[in-house]
Each structure stands twice: as C-alpha cells, then as structure tokens.
Amino acid sequence: MVIPISRAGPSPTGPQSTWAVWTSCPHRVMFLPGALQLIAAIALVAWEVGGRSLGLWATPAWTVPPAWSHAYLMLFGLFPWFVFGFAMTAIPNWTNVRIARGAWLACALPMIAGLVLFHAGLVAHRELVVAGGALQLAGWLAGCVALARIVFAGAGRDAQAISIVVLLFVGGLSAAFFLAAIARLDADCVALSANAGLWLFLLPLFLVVGHRMIPFFSSRVLSGYAMYRPSFSLPFLGAACVTHYLLESASATGWTWIADAPMAAWVGWLVWKWGLAQSFRARLLAMLHVSLTVLAAALAFSAVASLATLAGYPGLFGRGPLHLLAVGYIAAMTLGMVSRVSLGHAGRALEADAMTWYGFLALIGVGVVRAAADFAPLAGAPRAALLGVSALAWIVVVTSWAVRFVPLYLQPRRDARPG
C-alpha cells in the first residue's frame, strides 16, 4: 500500500538551487549536518585536551562539564543524523510507503537549530544548552512520528523497521533524561542516561541495521552468497544489551561479562558466516564487515575488563572498551554505511577510493589509540599525549572524508535521476 504523500521535491531536470538540491532527499538533509558534527564534536575535545591537559592554550569556563557535553554530543548529537538519514531513506523502500519532504525538514531544521544553541550554550549559559537540546529533541520527535506513520501505514509490518523506530523513541527519551540531568547537575542521572544512549539505543540500533544490510549488500556483490539471518539473533543480542545496561546501572561492572562474552562470541560467529574474507573483493563492503569484526573485539575487551574488575583490578582499562566500541565500531560502521548510501544516491560508482578506505582504517586506529589512553598505568603526560593524538587524528580523518562527501549532498545526481 502506498499512502498518498507527495515527495514534494524539485524536478530532476533543469537548473536547481543549492537549497532545492540539498532538501530534495532525507539523506542529503541529514548527512550534511552529520558530517559537520563529526568534526565539531571532537573539536571540543581537542580544545579541552590541548588547553587543560597539554597547556597549549587557554580554555573557557565551560557551563557544562566537558565529559558530559562530549558524551551528549557523541551519543545524541552526532550519530542520530546518520540514523535518521538512513531510516528516512530505507524504511520507505522497505514498506513501500513514501515520505513527504516536509517530514524530513520538520525533523532536520529544529535539530540543526537546537545543536547550534547547544554549542553556543557551552560557553554562554547552561540554560541555553538545555534549551538547545530541547529544540533538537522536538525535531527528533517529529522524525520519530513521521517514521512511525510510515511503518504502520501499510497492511504489512516490517519487524526491523519497527525496531528502528522504537529504538529512536528510546534514544530520544534517553536524551531527554540526559538534558534534565544537565539542568540539575545530576551526575548519577548523566551516567544512567549515557549508558542508556549506548546500550539501549545506539548499539541495538546498529545491530538491527547491520543484520538487515550487511547480508543484503554482500548478496549484491558476492556471487553464490547465502543469506544467514537466524530469527533468534537480534532478540538475543538485544537482551544482552539490556542485561549489560542493567548490570552497569546497578554498579555490578564485575558481572557485565555475563552479557558481553556471549555477545562477542556470537558477533564473531556472524563475522565468519557473513563472509569477512570474501568481502575484500569490494572495499565498500569490506568496511562493513571489518567494522563488525571490531565490534566482536570491543565486546571481548569489555568482557575482559569486567573480569579484571571481578578479580580485584577495577578501572584497569578505564573506559577503553567503551571507546573502542564507540569509535572503532559505531563511528567506523557509520563511515562505511554512509559512504555507500551517499555514493549510490549520488549516481556514483559504488567504489571506495583510497582516501575513503584508508580513512576508514585510520578511524579504527583512532579507536585503538583512544582505548589505549584509558589504560590505568598510562597516567599524566602519556595519557594526555594519546588523547591529543586520537583527537587530532579523528579531526584529520573525518575532515578529509567530509571534503570528499559533503559536495555530493549539494549537487544533483550524476545520472540525472531523482534522489
């Protein structure tokens, strides 16, 4: 069933303004600010590390603790751009229900304005941070409602589309609690909200997308490819994510291995079943498979860190497993998935050039360096140096990627087709 919602975009023929091109498709509208936020989110970290830890320059009196603003921007101010861009492109295709241009603009424009206010509030007033976050969440909610209408418009029900929409609502709720904690300067609520943002929102959502798209993309590239999507896989991984969240929230970090170790083993099995070795025939495909491999390693690392805590060595690895998971998997997977979607919807060849491929590998390296910086014996100057290197390397990698891909969001498709 196709509901009569017009895709009120410009005609693919004839000259078009930059605004018309940029707003013609949801992935264009969402990926461009996401690319800019890739740089901005870490620029704040680099400024803080360079000033406070390395003494290279003066740092402002932040209105919100830097660790809090970094956590919020990474969890709720960065990756949701790419999630919404992907969801508003893919879910209409999965459900055969179109989405109106006004729906993605009603989501994106408040989110853009809100994050601008959020950033300004970090050096002006904490109330401005909260107000900016609230405006961003208004756009987030509009996007969730638009996607929910699509998912439930037709007679059929796409389970993975429903999961994505539900997880987006969970992410919005987690962000709302985080903002409330900032308003009250409640450190405990910040920790709970940040953990929810990772274990109840981003990681489950990326697992859903990976289950849907990695086998699908592999089948389009690898001849004779056999789809492998056991029905229990996503429920099992989702339950393990919830278990980790509950244990960590109860300060039982010595027992999170109960969830992490089985997750690591199962994801490792999927890496093999989905064809890691064969994926290197196409770099864009290999980027997705390699990211999944890093996820297995990050979960195993998290299990080891938990067992170390149980053995009487709490904090030995700090938040290293978290950073390997966030940068080495989530950020790297984002780079791979967004690169593929951007090239395909720009009418370009689905091939990763050297910059995209080596930038992707470098981003995984950034995750490794950032994780190493949290190793307890590396205190003081060595830790600050690793933090600085990882932040600078992130900026170089994502800026190079943005220079390559941002123009695609402002130019018509090369093949003159709509999209």
- The Cα 82–Cα 330 span in angstroms is 11
**CATH at 261:** 1.20.210.10
Task: State the pTM of this model.
Answer: 0.94
Q: Per the domain annotation, does 5 fall within a domain?
A: no
Q: Which of 332, 417, 386, 327 is nearest to 12 (CA)?
A: 417
- The Cα 326–Cα 310 span in angstroms is 24
Q: Per the domain annotation, does 2 fall within a domain?
A: no
pLDDT, averaged across the chain: 93
- 15 dihedral zone (left: phi>0; alpha: psi -120 to 50; beta): beta
Domain total in the chain: 1
- Find the range with the poorest average confidence among 45-49, 240-244, 296-300: 45-49
Q: Per the domain annotation, does 279 fall within a domain?
A: yes
Q: How is the chain split among helix, strand and coil, in percent rounded to 5?
A: 75, 0, 25
- The Cα 69–Cα 172 span in angstroms is 16
Q: Which of 91, 104, 67, 82 is nearest to 33 (CA)?
A: 82
Length of the chain: 419
Phi, psi values for residue 149, rounded to 5°: -60, -40
Q: Tell me: the pLDDT tens digits for 291-349?
A: 999 999 999 999 999 999 999 999 999 999 999 999 999 999 999 999 999 999 999 99
Alpha helices, H only, 185-256: 187-196, 203-221, 233-249
Cβ(327)–Cβ(386) below 8 Å: no
- The Cα 111–Cα 105 span in angstroms is 10
Q: Tell me: the pLDDT tens digits for 25-42?
A: 999 999 999 999 999 989
- pLDDT class for 9, splitting at 50, 70, 90? very low
Cβ(27)–Cβ(88) below 8 Å: yes
- The Cα 100–Cα 25 span in angstroms is 10
Mention every residue, 6+ apart, whose C-beta is less than 8 A from residue 143. 84, 88, 103, 104, 106, 107, 108, 111, 168
Q: Per the domain annotation, does 373 fall within a domain?
A: yes
Q: Tell me: the pLDDT tens digits for 109-139?
A: 999 999 999 999 999 999 999 999 999 999 9
Q: Per the domain annotation, does 219 fall within a domain?
A: yes
- The Cα 151–Cα 230 span in angstroms is 23
Q: Which domain holds residue 325?
A: 24-409
Question: Beta-carbon neighbour count of residue 251 at 10 Å?
Answer: 8
Mention every residue, 6+ apart, whose C-beta is less than 8 A from residue 212. 160
User: For 207-236, b where at least 16 C-beta lie within 10 A, e where not — what string?
Assistant: bbbbbbbbbebbeebbeebeeeeeeebbee
Q: Per the domain annotation, does 140 fall within a domain?
A: yes
Residue reference for tokens 């004779």: 224
Q: Per the domain annotation, does 10 fall within a domain?
A: no
Amino acid at 160: Q
- The Cα 257–Cα 308 span in angstroms is 10
Residue 64 has pLDDT above 80, yes or no: yes
Cβ(78)–Cβ(329) below 8 Å: no
Mean pLDDT across the stretch 44-64? 87
Residue 180 has pLDDT above 50, yes or no: yes
Q: Per the domain annotation, does 417 fall within a domain?
A: no
